[in-house]
Amino acid sequence: MPDETAQQPPQIGINLDIHRPHSARMYDYYLGGVTNFPADREAAGRALDAFPNIRIAAHANRGFMHRSIRAIAALGVDQFLDVGTGIPTSPNLHEIAQRVNPAVRAVYADNDPIVLTHAEALLNSTPEGRTTYVQGDVRDPGTILDAAAETLDLSRPVALSMNALLHFIADRPGHGAADIVAAFTARLAPGSYLAISHFTPDFEPEATARLVEVYRNSGTEAQARTRDEIAALFHGWRVLEPGIVSTPRWRPDADIVTVTDQQASCYAAVARLDRSAPTRPV
């Protein structure tokens, strides 16, 4: 029986490279979406064998995104830059922030062209606010920030979110995840916020190592990081309460379904830039 809910390749002039698994489409599959192709589902099946709780982890990660964006918007921030957006999954970031303040502006960025083909779901801003989409790679912060500056005023605070993104960046001298965050930080105004969630080996080392291997074998860079390595991403930032904790433990809603640290295997934190970006030690 053909799977009638499965996504058909869109008839557009963009190469989606559907015969190779992509992290955005695998994640969409974990979340129960239909924007994925057989190669993605096969790789996602291997990922589920390696790390059986991956669907729970993906939903717990989305829950962190919802709560952190709500909290940051409630602090009065009205500009958001979301890098590694993923395939739209309702509610999207701007919908959450615009429920707090309809005038919020949000810029989305991802390097996977499939996100671009679904960008209309990200562009349904309130009339008072504005949303735009940038096709860009987090390893090229200047291009993303220059494009974002057409919608956001970078001389004012911006909330930068990098959720479930930086574990797809392997560290290389001078080009690691911390270098990338530092490059974004250097262009942000004091009073900006940074939200990061990141896969970790700290709770389930063997299953995590197997999962990283699945991604690498399917052609995607991957690196799980320890709590200390994730703390280093926040150099120059003041991490807000409750600190760097597993995604379900970050300011849980009263009615949250209990997810364990092992199931989530993902750290999350929100931080504030109190002063201008510091120079990093070399």
Ligand X SMILES: C[S@@+](CC[C@H](N)C(=O)[O-])C[C@H]1O[C@@H](n2cnc3c(N)ncnc32)[C@H](O)[C@@H]1O
- Shortest Cβ 139–ligand X spacing (Å): 5
For ligand X, give the closer residue by CB, 138 or 160.
Answer: 138
Q: Please give the C-alpha separations between residue 27 and each of 22, 63, 75, 85, in angstroms, as whole numbers.
A: 9, 14, 30, 11
Measured from the CB atom, the residue of 85 and 218 that comes closer to ligand X is: 85
**Contacting positions for ligand X (CB under 6 A):** 23-24, 27, 61-62, 65, 84-86, 110-112, 115, 137-139, 163-165, 168
* Pairwise CA distance, residues 76 & 58, whole Å: 28
Q: How far is the CB of 111 from ligand X (least distance, A)?
A: 4
Shortest reach from residue 241's CB to ligand X, in Å: 21
Which of 96, 12, 64 lies closest to 197 in space, CA to CA? 64
Residues present in the chain in total: 282
CB of 41 to ligand X, least distance (A): 16
Q: CB-wise, 41 or 156, nearer to ligand X?
A: 41
Tell me which residue has tokens 């700290």. 202
d(CA 85, CA 69): 13
E runs forming strands in the chain: 79-83, 105-110, 130-135, 159-163, 193-199, 238-239, 245-246, 266-272
**Which CB atom, from 20 or from 156, has the smaller least distance to ligand X?**
20
Instruction: Report in angstroms how near the CB of residue 24 gets to ligand X at its nearest.
Output: 3
Residue 28 vs 78, nearer CB to ligand X: 28
